[in-house]
Structure 1
């Protein structure tokens, strides 16, 4: 989302947005010197709230809801999205307090924030500022619409830091092409592509890498990453969980989207009904050593013994966190491959052999990701 701020030194309204690695900023308009600080801050607060509400339509699309029947969550999301066309009108002609002292408040968050922005501009009363803000709001709406289509150029690039409960097929294909170029990943995955889509492609390539190592080593594919923890300390739990889910999920897309969606619920203080919340002594110790080599014997030192994780992902950034873990999983496969490869050839040739084998396996099973 875009954050707005006031530069008091220059009397300007500015906006900043993330680009995957750092932030960009731009001047929106000059602010009248006579405008009180309280009105200036109200304007930037309402603009930031509007951006947040607009981008929530991207991260929580109606298509990802269980139903779009009237009065369901999916229906409400679609109503909000359908109202994009009226946002700039609301900014231009907001609801104001009437003669009786009443103010109409919209239930829809996007519409309500648009009216709040309009009221903030009305209170400042500067035509040039109002015109510039209206144009900027239109630009923000356009950025969301471009992101929905998988075009993350321009202002839409801020989607690369957002987790979404859906993924653009074009973005999945682009991520797959990045991994085909280098199965261990590339910076484009974090700077140019939406993280959920990139994680879908990375899950496919992780499975290809694990299958290659499994055939070479005899270790079950779902335990390959955990086994590599004996060579180099790795956060193996998430990629191991993903590999295990391949036996149950219809596709990398379904398992990644479900994992990200569950973590997004946890971030909002919710959890799936079938997700056990165990704060007692009923922890299941059967899977403490998934690799069978003692690497899983010690609990995570950062997690208290009397708590359990509701999600293996960071709820504040689940899609990017998952993407990072999946790429670490591919790296783990590379480590284990070296241990079982022909030790008479150079490390460079082993690396080439690994990448070639993984590309071939990924191409063989590409139908599951594209």
Structure 2
């Protein structure tokens, strides 16, 4: 049952739409065949392939189909119809959860998708993440509790660029360097958000940047190498050529959530630099002794400026 669930959810994390091609015998074609096999899973459980009179057993190449037949063979050996009915009901609920997640509905059983990395993103989930960041450009817990991490990362990349542009206008530091510059104020993991900002001139949208980074990390997690792999991304400062190189800036075991965390840290870094270059005398707070109030006022000014820039450039997100 665990193997079957894993195979079902792989259709969500590795959709055919994210493959390079869906022509016959390509990876995308195989993914599509697997996804279309959802309709036959319960039948495979109820009537699995069994060893025939000659001692042969038909084994399916498709992982979803084969794991369904394995569940069916175990139930056949047990021989309890009530148990079989209960398992089929549970599997139907799991399939429904995957289908709901594909549509961007992460309620109920589909909520498990919030911890999965996906090589695609639901437009409705991207819009929902954008709404969370519009409410507070520094982020919100809903990004981790209620939304696809890939979709949330796409929206966060858009807001990071807005924050970097606002901070660049104020400080004179190039937008792609503001997060790294903030590392002089507070130690933080700046390489990933800096890499994302550096890719904006070469990408048509934050979606293409984020999906490619996550897809590459997911390939590496499976022992595969992207065709255009950079053997040492982010290791330009390494002095020892014998040091291991990083194949990806992300944690391969959880790339989407790792990327989302780093992008939000990048927005925080922009806020730090924004505060560093803000002239407190230009703010409306007249009591110089109340540092917390001044900090809150600077933070609010940052939020307002970033929100306006994100709205102005929202076309790249859509």
Same fold (TM over 0.5): yes
Candidates 317, 333, 336, aligned match of 2:270: 333
Q: Secondary structure at the match of 1:246?
A: helix
Pairs within 5 Å for 1:347-358: 347-358=295-306
2-side partners of 1:308 and 1:137: how far apart?
42
Aligned partner of 1:308 in structure 2 is: 245
Pairing 1:1-370 to 2, within 5 Å after superposition: 47-277=1-231, 287-288=236-237, 305-344=242-281, 345=283, 346-370=294-318
Partners of 1:310 and 1:87 in 2: how far apart?
37
- Can you give the 5+ residue segments of structure 2 that lack an aligned partner in the other structure? 284-293
Q: Write the distance in 1 (CA, Å) between the matches of 2:312 and 2:220.
A: 36
Cα deviation per residue 1:307-363 (whole Å; 9 max; x = unaligned)? 111110000000000000000000000000000012234111111100000000000
Cα deviation for residue 69 of structure 1 reads 0.5
How many matched pairs? 307
Residue 127 of structure 1 deviates from its aligned partner by 1.4
User: Relative to 1, partners in 2 of residues 1:276 and 1:171: Cα closer, same or farther, differing over 3 Å?
Assistant: closer
4+ residue runs over 3 A deviation: none
Pairwise CA distance, 1:274: 2.5
> Which deviations, in whole Å up to 9, do the C-alpha atoms of 1:96-144 show, x marking residues without a partner?
1111111110010000000000011111121111110000000000000
C-alpha distance in 2 between matches for 1:265 and 1:246: 23
Question: Which has a greater percent of strand?
Answer: 1
The TM-score normalised by the length of structure 2 is 0.94
Q: Greater helix percent: which structure? A: 2
Show CA shifts across 1:256-295 (max 9, x none).
00000000000000111232447xxxx998x53xxxxxxx
Mean Cα displacement is larger for which, 305-314 or 167-176?
305-314
Change (3 A) 1:173 1:284: closer
> Displacement, 1:54?
0.4
Deviations 1:10-40 (A, max 9, x none): xxxxxxxxxxxxxxxxxxxxxxxxxxxxxxx
TM-score of the aligned structures, taking structure 1 as reference length: 0.81
Contact 2:216 2:248 in 1 (8 A): yes
SS at match of 1:156: helix
